[in-house]
Amino acid sequence: MSEIAGEPLKQTPLNAIHRALGAKMVDFGGWDMPVHYSGIIDEHNTVRNAVGIFDVSHMGEIEIRGPEALALIDFLTPNAASKLKDGQAQYSALLYEHGGFVDDILVHKVSAHHYFLCVNASNQDKDYAHIREHNTFQAEVEFASARYALLAVQGPHAPSVVRKLADVDLTPVRYYHFVDGSVGGVPARIARTGYTGELGFELYVAAEEAVRVWNAVLDAGAEFGIKPAGLGARNTLRLEAAMALYGHEITASLTPLEAGLERIVKFEKGNFLGRKALLEQHERGVHRLLTGFEMTGRGIGRDGYEIMIGGAPAGWVTSGGPSPTLGRNIGMCYLPVAHTRPGENIQVMIRNQPVEAVTRPMPFYKRAN
């Protein structure tokens, strides 16, 4: 078994399945995860044009219950959780007092006294501790990650695949909504969410039922050309859709206003952790913004590469690589606000040489309705 710092890597309930399928496994934040099966480009194109299934059971789940569950959520997150209806999900964040990210999260409202959070794998322990630290409300906080497996079925044919297996009507389930039912006879939380820019569902099931549901989805999707997809394709898909990744576009030293996520900051709702710092930043204006770019010279702008403007350091690449859908080398970077308009010429330092690029609007890819 692979190890990190002398400790065995964590495994999802589907680890043996991935190995039996011949997946290339990698250490991903202390987890033994599949980076690809048939190849990143093949899996990427399958999700864009047909349907793929991802094992994302390394993600974390935290449940908050009690008469003041909403009060705790509303204090911890900048978005307006009070606007959620039962069965609705919301992209949000946990913030520090200075406005930087603890994590970006999904908040699901199960009922008035029950909220279900999906958090990033590498942050789940930190997130749980952060929530517990600030829980001065009548709310119970449960670290529930071990109870759940999470499968993402994504692509144009994903709804057809999941509908074949679900015991509830999924037609009225809109984007960022969910329903509790069963999939392939297994109780599941069926959420119309994803990290690919495509149609799809994310299925939360009991960890011990993960293999059963995985196999049922593959069987149901066979007629649509379904394939298992790994973290490599998940990354290229989310890059094309310009979806933020913790540790890249968002960190403890970056705020939602800088990351182009002002839509999740609702100052009007009243006090929340980080509000004062964000309000001050909003009033004085941000100095840097997350910006899209496309390479016009020969080269790929990789994560962490320096950006130059007029021969002077100006920013850095947060995520970058080839776009299988567009056939171009794209990326996201932080730049001074004055240089973030589409069409600005910039240079990416590749092997100590400046290579030409140009700023582009985001997302780079948007699914046609």
Extract the tokens encoding 103: 């994590």
Domain ranges of the chain: 3-58+147-240, 287-369
Compute the average pLDDT of residues 289-311.
98
pLDDT band of 368, cuts 50, 70, 90: confident
| DSSP three-state, residue 20 | helix
Residue 45 and residue 180: Cα distance in Å, rounded? 30
Place of tokens 């309705």: 369
Q: What percent of the chain has pLDDT over 70?
A: 98
220, 209 Cβ separation under 8 angstroms: no
pTM: 0.96
What share of the chain in percent tops pLDDT 90?
97
Question: Residue 352: pLDDT above 70?
Answer: yes
Question: What pLDDT sits at residue 1?
Answer: 38
Q: Is the pLDDT assigned to residue 80 strictly greater than 50? A: yes
Does 287-369 match 3-58+147-240 at the fold level?
A: no
Please, which residues bridge with residue 142 across strands? 63
- Residue 362 dihedral angles phi and psi, to the nearest 5°: -120, 150
Tens-place pLDDT, residues 24-38: 999 999 999 999 999
**What is each CA distance from 88 to 43, 80, 91, 106, in whole angstroms?**
30, 12, 11, 10
Please give the Cα distance from 45 to 264 (Å, whole number). Answer: 31
pLDDT at 126: 98
In Å, how far from its chain's centre is CA 84? Answer: 20
Report the mean per-residue pLDDT for the chain: 97
DSSP 68-101: THHHHHHHH-SS-GGGPPTTEEEEEEEE-TTS-E
Nearest 5°: the CA angle 329, 333, 335 is 130
Q: What is 164-223 written as a DSSP string?
A: HHBSS--TT--TTBEEEEEETTEEEEEES--SSSSSEEEEEEEGGGHHHHHHHHHHHHGG
In 3D space, the residue among 226, 184, 287, 298 whose CA is nearest the CA of residue 21 turns out to be 226
Read off the pLDDT of residues 197-255 as tens digits, 9 standing for 90 and up: 999 999 999 999 999 999 999 999 999 999 999 999 999 999 999 999 999 999 999 99
Q: Determine the topology of domain 3-58+147-240 in CATH.
A: Gyrase A; domain 2 (3.30.1360)
Structure letter (DSSP) for residue 224? G
Over residues 155-167, mean pLDDT: 98
What burial letters (b/e) apply to 163-183, b meaning 16+ CB within 10 Å? ebbbeeeeeebeeebbbebbb
What's the CATH fold of domain 287-369? Answer: Elongation Factor Tu (Ef-tu); domain 3 (2.40.30)
**Structure confidence at residue 4 (pLDDT):** 45
pLDDT digits (tens, 9 = 90+) for 112-144: 999 999 999 999 999 999 999 999 999 999 999
Residue 327 has pLDDT above 70, yes or no: yes
Which residues pair with residue 140 across a beta bridge?
65
Q: What pLDDT band is residue 6 in, cutting at 50, 70 and 90?
A: low
For residues 205 and 182, give the distance between their C-alpha atoms in angstroms, rounded to a whole number.
Answer: 9
Report CA 26 to chain centroid distance, whole Å: 19
